[in-house]
Amino acid sequence: MVVTLFDPWKSRLCTCSRKYSLNPYTGCSHSCIYCYITSYIPRGYEARLKKNIFKDLKRELPNLNRKIPITMSNSSDPYQPIEREYKITRKVLKMLSEFKVQIITKSDLVTRDSDLLSQMKAAVAITVTTLDEELAGKLEPLAPSPHDRLKAMEHLISHGIPVSARIDPIIPYINENAEELVKELSHIGVKHITSSTFKPRYDSWRRLRETFPEETEKLHSLYFDKGERKQNSSYLPEGLRLKLMKGVRQACKKHSISFATCREGLNINTAESCDGIHLIN
Ligand code: SF4
């Protein structure tokens, strides 16, 4: 199956409404150090084409409920660098003209498809974790720069395509102050922000420790002594998560942006949907 119901490990912490998940690629070459896909996808940082995707889509699409939105993508970016050449996501979008679609990406390549997206029931969520280019280079080594992502948001909004942002994840001592970022996003015209705290698994923690040795020394006891373990991930103590998320919510409120958290189990959302899918309507 190339289209499945989104069901992240049957997590009770997930507050998303029903949606389908479609990944045109397997793996993701953006290589974000905090990414969790390497814990369950072999060669996770190596994007490759999905075999038989068009044949599978032709078979599966007629059987889908068209009221349920399709999200692209949840465990790889649909705008991989190789997408420039292969145009798989573009071809898939052409097959989804009758569906509601949400694109989730870190790539400005999404602007190439604004002609299609502006004619569809679609919204785009772009992840930006910091405005600091150097820091972004450490966190998301092979992803487009924050500057390029903000430019992409501007482009999409100017083409009438609703855009939300994901400030996801927030990591204490590293990118915890999101106020300037929220302000910048509000100036661009972003209507919704989804945020969450970093929830390391074994390999993402190892990469974070290699890149940020001083910060992870301070984080270690917060995650592994005082924090909680939920669904194979380590969580910061609830009080700290609440403080960090309320900080982002406060900045959103100041700039009239709706806000929601992702898999935090905190009841502080101000938006109709946690993932920004309500913007499609
Ligand atoms: S863009 Fe998303 S899926 Fe790709 S490496 Fe980064 S966090 Fe993982």
Q: Residue 49: CB partners within 8 Å, gap ≥ 6?
A: 24, 25, 26, 82, 86, 88
Q: Per the structure block, which two tokens stand in for 221?
A: 């006891």
Q: How confident is the model over 101-145, as pLDDT tens digits?
A: 999 999 999 999 999 999 999 999 999 999 999 999 999 999 999
Query: Could you please report the per-residue DSSP string of 78-121?
Result: SS-TTHHHH-HHHHHHHHTTTSEEEEEES-GGGGGGHHHHTTSE
Give the percent of the chain with pLDDT over 90: 91
Q: How confident is the model over 169-181, as pLDDT tens digits?
A: 999 999 999 999 9
β-pair partners for 125: 104, 164
Residue having the nearest C-alpha atom to atom 4 of ligand 1: 28
> What value does the mean pLDDT of the chain take?
95
Which of 246, 251, 125, 133 lies closest to 181 in space, CA to CA? 251
Q: Residue 17: CB partners within 8 Å, gap ≥ 6?
A: 273, 277
How many A from CA of 76 to the centre of ligand 1? 6
**Tokens 């406060």 belong to which residue?**
250
How many A from CA of 31 to the centre of ligand 1? 6
CA distance from start to end of the chain: 27
Q: Per the structure block, which two tokens stand in for 263?
A: 């898999």
Q: How confident is the model over 224-254, as pLDDT tens digits?
A: 999 999 988 999 999 999 999 999 999 999 9
| Radius of gyration, alpha carbons of the chain | 18
Strand ranges across the sheet with 70-72? 3-5, 20-22, 70-72, 100-105, 121-127, 163-170, 192-197, 258-261
Q: How confident is the model over 210-225, as pLDDT tens digits?
A: 999 999 999 999 999 9
- Residues framing ligand 1 (Cβ under 6 A): 28, 30-32, 35, 37, 75-77, 106, 143
Average pLDDT over residues 188-199: 96
Q: How confident is the model over 45-97, as pLDDT tens digits?
A: 999 999 899 999 999 999 999 999 999 998 899 999 999 999 999 999 999 99
Q: Domain boundaries in the chain?
A: 14-280
Atom of ligand 1 nearest to the CA of 36: 8
User: 14-280 has which fold?
Assistant: TIM Barrel (3.20.20)
Calpha distance 209→214 (Å, rounded):
8
Enumerate helices (H) and strands (E) in the chain, giving the number of each: 10, 12
